[in-house]
Structure 1
Amino acid sequence: MMKTTRLSALLLILGSAAFHAAHAAHYPVTVPSCNRQVTFAHAPSRAVSNDVNLTEMLLALGVRARMAGYTGISGWKTANPQLAAELKGLPELAQRYPSLETLVAAHADLYVAGWNYGMRVGGPITPATLAPFGIATYELTESCAHVMPRPAASLDDVYNDLRNLGAIFDVDARAQSVIAAMQARVAAVAKALNSTHERPRVFVYDSGEDKPFTAGDLAMPTALIRAAGGRNVMDDLAQSWAQVSWESVVARDPQVIVIVDYGAVTAAQKAAFLLGSPALANVAAIRNRRFVVVPYDAATPGVQNAQAIETLARGLHPEAFAAAPQR
């Protein structure tokens, strides 16, 4: 048993050395991460991603073999069958946010996360707390609004993350391919909406009964709705995701409600709650029962954003897609 263990360890070391040697010309690489610059002497070999959207980015870039595991998916119930199949055999190190001890024990060399996507300002897991343990951190661009001034969220935030992660792992060509595929789908939606001038008022409903949790101007759904030919009624809220009052929703009278689908409460249950709320009875979206359901990983920054725009555009402007086959 001891000989087998030593042999496995030796093969791991030799394999890692061979990988680093093959990619040495690409490094060192420095990429921006929020208000920091992060330098990599070689490609990470023990990366850990948090949340479904960031995990899907790494899988799309083809770097699963360079991952030690992932966190924050089963605890929020955000996985889908396809993702579950792709992750089979890769350990989920924590159901929600990981602890410092968890990442250290996994021998992580990179934590791919974001603010409120695996890290909290002033919390136990931050780039500063991980650095002494040799764990680099790459921060989701959209989430940087929690630690620095930023403009409204945009698809460029996602493309930026894919390019940076492509550089970190030396898979630039793969990153460009993923970006180009997303851009082509978004362009196809824009073409279909070319003659559409109405921009329906949209409210994003994530969760909450006493007060709804929704997306402001700095959160990705606002950009997705805009690309789909609508307008987020909370685009005057200079925040990312935040709680608002039902009174403010009623005052803005959304014509469509986007339901973010994840967690223990199903999209159908969320719709039933909204339809049964006396306070919302006169809202246009409720009167006309206009709901569009978008999965969590498509509503948050990631490779599913093009799919989200297609879904939203069909929901907001069905007439523009009446003769177009669905993907």
Structure 2
Amino acid sequence: MPLTVSPRPPRAVRPRAVVGPAVAAALLLTGCGADVASDSAKSEKTTVKRCGEPVPYTVPERAVAYEGGSADKLFSLGLTDHVHGYVMPPANPPVSESPWAAEYKKVKMLSDDLLNKELVVDAKSDFVVAGWNSGFSDQRGITPEILDKLKIQSFMHTESCYNYPKYPERADPFDALYTDLERLGRIFRVEDKADEVVSDLKRRAGAVRKQAPKGDPVPVFLYDSGTDRPFTAGNQVPPNDIIKTAGGRNVFDGLDERWTQVNWESVAEAEPEVVIILDYGDQPAKKKIEFLKKSAHTRELPAVKRNNFFILDYNEGISGPRNIDGLEKFGKYLRELKR
């Protein structure tokens, strides 16, 4: 089958990583809550971009976050008191594994299903954070435009704005992460905290970049899912920046897409030396590795023959502060890889 470029279909999805220095750093960043605006300032509106659209915001008091990336961004900024709850499909790794596990305990789990308008309305939410074509969806009847009409504020991950109708916005995935934190900082009037968090993430990413192995970048294939046709990462999602910053090369970095479907012939032609397995609840990494070792399409790949598998946690692969945790782990893996 020829290469296809389609958005990753929305579904209730996504190695579980060992807790290390990155987690400790994240916890340190959230040790104390941010100083949110005074009551008098909360009713004032601040205009911040939602993808390419300038939107006026008041300070939210009952935020709803869809999936770990959204919640992590809010928790990393010390905004727990402004989060009413979260929606977490069961395929997501348990929140107990998050660096912000203590913050998750302080808010409500509203659903283990996909995001929907009724849930948001029932929660009396005044702010929803999600991605386009994942949390927000025309097909499921919950979009920023629909919520605007209900006077419910919303915010979309910049990384997902690539194909947002009317107001597309494009940024490299890590830059999109930093942009989100800065924009959320403005919405909640915690700009100083946002600057602190972003500066630390950039510092950590820069340290990995400096330590990247010299020479030709290692060709890397990210395997999300799929047997007949694999889903993988184009150049518009965080794993592309994780691979590039650590010293590798995403074999599908030429695809100007987010999560997309390809064919096994193109994977074989790329001869990846490393396969990153995106690990999530309903499709654990172990089963994916077993498939790759047995499939006639992949068992002769250099990475598979050498058992060069790196497991990336779901919340390290979708847009959120844990992208940098995944980067640090993958950077270490590449530095120790024997070629």
TM (normalized to structure 2)? 0.83
Shift of 1:250: 0.7
- C-alpha separation in 2, matches of 1:80 and 1:20: 28
**Which of 146, 169, 194 is 2:163 aligned to?**
146
**Does 1:191 find its partner at 2:210?**
yes
Alignment check: 8 A CA contact 1:57 1:303 kept: yes
For 1:191-242, what per-residue CA distance to the aligned partner results, in whole angstroms no more than 9, with x for missing partners? 222x612200011111112211111111221111111111110111121101
**Which of 261, 280, 283 is 2:301 aligned to?**
283
- C-alpha separation in 2, matches of 1:285 and 1:20: 51
- C-alpha separation in 1, matches of 2:92 and 2:293: 24
Alignment check: 8 A CA contact 2:220 2:274 kept: yes
Partner of 1:317: 335
Greater Rg, structure 1 or structure 2? 1
- C-alpha separation in 2, matches of 1:154 and 1:133: 30
**Does 1:263 find its partner at 2:281?**
yes
Alignment check: 8 A CA contact 1:46 1:66 kept: yes
**Does 1:125 find its partner at 2:142?**
yes
Partner of 1:52: 68
Shift of 1:269: 1.7
Alignment check: 8 A CA contact 2:219 2:273 kept: yes
Partner of 2:233: 215
**Which of 86, 96, 108 is 1:91 aligned to?**
108
1:20–1:161 Cα change, 3 Å = closer
Where 2:86 maps in the other structure, the secondary structure is strand
Partner of 1:13: none
| Greater alpha carbon shift after TM alignment, 136-145 vs 269-278 | 269-278
- CA RMSD in angstroms comes to 2.0
Alignment check: 8 A CA contact 2:43 2:59 kept: no
1:99-110 equivalence runs, <5 A? 99-110=116-127
Shift of 1:89: 4.2
Partner of 1:78: 93
1:8-19 equivalence runs, <5 A? none
TM (normalized to structure 1)? 0.86
Aligned AA (2:157): L
Partner of 2:28: none
- C-alpha separation in 1, matches of 2:150 and 2:168: 29
**Which of 167, 173, 181 is 2:186 aligned to?**
167
1:190–1:23 Cα change, 3 Å = farther
Higher normalized helix content (fraction of residues) = 1
Where 1:115 maps in the other structure, the secondary structure is coil
**Which of 302, 308, 312 is 2:320 aligned to?**
302
**Which of 18, 42, 45 is 1:28 aligned to?**
45
For 1:218-276, what per-residue CA distance to the aligned partner results, in whole angstroms no more than 9, with x for missing partners? 12211111111111101111211011111111111111000111122221221111111
Contiguous gaps of at least 5 residues in structure 1: 1-18, 321-327
Where 1:293 maps in the other structure, the secondary structure is strand
Which stretches of structure 1, 4 residues or longer, exceed 6 Å deviation after superposition?
none
**Which of 101, 113, 117 is 2:130 aligned to?**
113
Contiguous gaps of at least 5 residues in structure 2: 1-35
For 1:10-39, what per-residue CA distance to the aligned partner results, in whole angstroms no more than 9, with x for missing partners? xxxxxxxxx875451894211111121111
Partner of 1:323: none
Where 1:217 maps in the other structure, the secondary structure is coil
Partner of 1:232: 250
Q: Which has the higher contact order (CA 8 A, sep 6+)?
A: 2
- C-alpha separation in 2, matches of 1:298 and 1:23: 37
Identity of aligned residues (%): 34
Shift of 1:85: 3.8
Where 1:179 maps in the other structure, the secondary structure is helix
- C-alpha separation in 2, matches of 1:306 and 1:77: 18
- C-alpha separation in 2, matches of 1:150 and 1:28: 23
Where 2:131 maps in the other structure, the secondary structure is strand
- C-alpha separation in 1, matches of 2:44 and 2:177: 23
Partner of 1:66: 82
- C-alpha separation in 1, matches of 2:291 and 2:230: 12
